[in-house]
């Protein structure tokens, strides 16, 4: 039986990561609990996960493809769904992980464990819902005459920078909002406004040339572009490297800030 020592001395990075690993089973337990709670006493269960993206897909396809006549090199419905897929993953992790501490105050008070596990558990729940929407995309790819390419094997790697970026943002905000609760109201604003700065439903070809490279400073835009390249052969802009790098840096900053302030959480929650 492994023994965890509880001390008032701040953990080193090595010890902190070791504690997270020793408590990894708690991540799965919390994710399973949240999944059951979310779909408890519903008739359709996980099928509700498809409702939001399918409604958004229908609206964007009807409005932007039908009325604004956006043209893409492959079916527009695949273009939009690929954007919605990653945007919804980001927004879910960011919004849910940001509020995970306030949602689990009683658990924090009763158990001694790395509090970062709470935001981490939201990633697993987000990936369950992501997988269901991804299945719809894959079915549509089989339906439409899409050329199969080796680069499709790289598509799963796009999840790494997006999850790191979403978690980094959430870790920073969740630690910050424990003392300054008003900042939590930033979450819906950032999610609702951020989608307009991300090529989810519009092609980058409509962006003025002088601003074209700037859009890829947004890590989500870079991830979506990388995914569309791997799946559909879209051209890659070298500026996506900046966005991808920022996703890793955001996680490092968020992780470090959360670790530094974790011991204060129990005192102010």
Please state the domain extents for the chain. 45-268
Q: What is the pLDDT along the chain (269 residues), one digit of tens a residue?
A: 445 555 556 678 888 899 999 998 999 999 888 877 776 555 555 666 677 777 777 777 777 666 666 778 888 889 999 999 999 999 999 999 988 888 888 888 888 888 999 999 999 989 988 998 898 899 889 888 888 889 999 999 999 999 999 999 999 988 887 766 666 677 777 788 888 889 998 888 888 888 888 899 999 999 999 999 999 999 899 999 999 999 999 999 999 999 988 877 666 66
**Following DSSP, what letter does each residue of 80-108 receive, concatenated?**
HHHHHHHHHHHHHHHHHHHTHHHHTHHHH
């Amino acid at each position: 039986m492994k023994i965890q020592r509880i001390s008032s001395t701040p953990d080193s990075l090595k010890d902190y990561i070791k504690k997270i690993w020793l408590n990894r089973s708690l991540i799965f337990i919390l994710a399973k609990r949240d999944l059951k709670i979310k779909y408890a006493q519903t008739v359709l269960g996980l099928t509700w996960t498809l409702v939001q993206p399918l409604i958004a897909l229908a609206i964007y396809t009807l409005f932007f493809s039908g009325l604004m006549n956006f043209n893409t090199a492959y079916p527009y419905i695949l273009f939009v769904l690929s954007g919605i897929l990653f945007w919804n993953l980001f927004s879910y992790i960011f919004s849910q992980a940001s509020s995970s501490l306030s949602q689990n105050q009683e658990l924090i008070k009763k158990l001694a464990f790395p509090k970062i596990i709470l935001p981490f558990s939201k990633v697993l729940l987000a990936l369950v819902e992501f997988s269901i929407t991804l299945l719809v995309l894959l079915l549509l790819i089989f339906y439409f005459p899409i050329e199969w390419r080796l680069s499709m094997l790289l598509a799963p790697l796009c999840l790494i920078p997006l999850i790191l970026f979403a978690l980094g943002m959430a870790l920073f905000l969740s630690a910050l909002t424990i003392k300054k609760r008003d900042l939590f109201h930033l979450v819906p604003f950032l999610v609702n406004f951020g989608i307009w700065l991300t090529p989810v439903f519009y092609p980058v070809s409509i962006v003025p040339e002088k601003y074209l490279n700037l859009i890829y400073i947004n890590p989500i835009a870079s991830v979506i572009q990388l995914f569309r390249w791997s799946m559909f052969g879209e051209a890659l802009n070298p500026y996506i490297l900046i966005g991808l790098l920022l996703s890793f840096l955001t996680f490092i900053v968020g992780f470090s800030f959360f670790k530094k302030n974790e011991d204060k959480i129990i005192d102010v929650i």
